[in-house]
Structure formats: structure tokens, C-alpha cells
Structure 1
Amino acid sequence: MSGTEQSPPSQVALAAHPDIAGLGYEAAREELTAIVAKLEGGHASLEESMKLWERGEALAQHCQAWLDEAEQRLTAQEDDASD
């Protein structure tokens, strides 16, 4: 990758939080829900809010990847069953 190219935002967010990769869907969703509650509570400083938001983005992307993979697996099984 050249110096001017950038990774997609999803890769950047996940790269900043490598511990998220090991989370299962439910654990990631629960943590994301807790982050949303903290942010909606409005008691976090701006700096803390930004860190929470960035982690929340990474968690949301991780959850979406789980859901996308599940959908692909179900579609593949349906295709196999119809053959």
C-alpha cells in the first residue's frame, strides 16, 4: 500500500481494537449496547465519548460481519438443499 492509500474505515476501526476480533456475536452486541447506553446518558467527557464511539463503531462492524457470514452460510445451505 502506498503512503497515500488508506484502509477502509471498517479495517481501521477493527485494527485499533484487536481484542474485538475474538468476541462472539452476543458478547460484541452486549458491549455495544452498553456503550450506546453510556453515550446516551451524556455523562462522559468529550474525549471518553469519542473513544466509546470509535469502539462502538468497531463493535458494530464486527457484529455486521457475524451476521453477513451467517446469512451466507444459510444461503449456501438453502442452495444445497434445493439442488
Structure 2
Amino acid sequence: MADDIREMSFEQAIAELEQVVGQLDSGDVPLERSIDLYDRGAKLKAHCEVKLREAEEKVEQITLDAKGQPTGTRPAEGM
């Protein structure tokens, strides 16, 4: 993956991915540029997926006792 993409936050990567998709959707891009954009878009998508997976792993659920009082946290299930 390109070094500049590795340094991007999720928000930066998703914003650029949206721009790439917009350019490809316009249909006004020469074939060679379309290939380059598609490749960059795939790398941006992969980076976003990694960032989301990392965030999901950090999500925790609050645990409650029988009276409904918070007792701590545990990792979220299914993530």
C-alpha cells in the first residue's frame, strides 16, 4: 500500500475514496487514468477496512449487575 495512504486517518481515506469514485463515475477519465484511479481506490478501501476493524476491536460493552448498575466493560461480541 502506498506510504501516503498508510499515514491517512479513516476520514482522510474515505474522503479521497469518495473523490476517486466520483471521478470514475463521471466517465470523463481516460482509460489509463481510470486504471490508476481504480488501483488507488482499492488501496484506500483496504486501508479504510483495516481502520474500521481496529476501531471495532476497541469497542466495549458496559456490563451491568442484577440491579442495572455498571460493573465494568467487556469486548463487544461479534466484532
Note if 1:24 corresponds to 2:9: yes
Write out the 4+ residue segments of structure 1 that deviate beyond 3 Å after TM superposition.
none
Could you tell me how far 1:78 is from its partner in structure 2? 2.7
Map Cα deviations across residues 44-75 of structure 1 (whole Å, 9 max, x no partner). 1110000000000000000010100000110x
Equivalent position to 1:81, from 59, 73, 76: 73
Structure whose CA Rg is larger: 2
Query: Partners of 1:81 and 1:65 in 2: how far apart?
Result: 24
What RMSD, in angstroms, separates the aligned Cα atoms of the two structures? 1.4
Higher helix proportion: 1
Quote the offset at 1:41 in angstroms: 0.1
Distance 1:67 1:52 in 2: 22
Identity %: 34
Specify which of 25, 30, 33 is matched with residue 48 of structure 1.
33
Q: Higher relative CO (CA 8 A, sep ≥ 6), structure 1 or 2?
A: 1
Name the TM-score, length of structure 1 as normaliser.
0.73
Q: Which has the higher strand share?
A: 2
Aligned to 1:81, what secondary structure does the other structure show? strand
Which ranges in structure 2 are unaligned for 5 or more consecutive residues? 63-71, 75-79
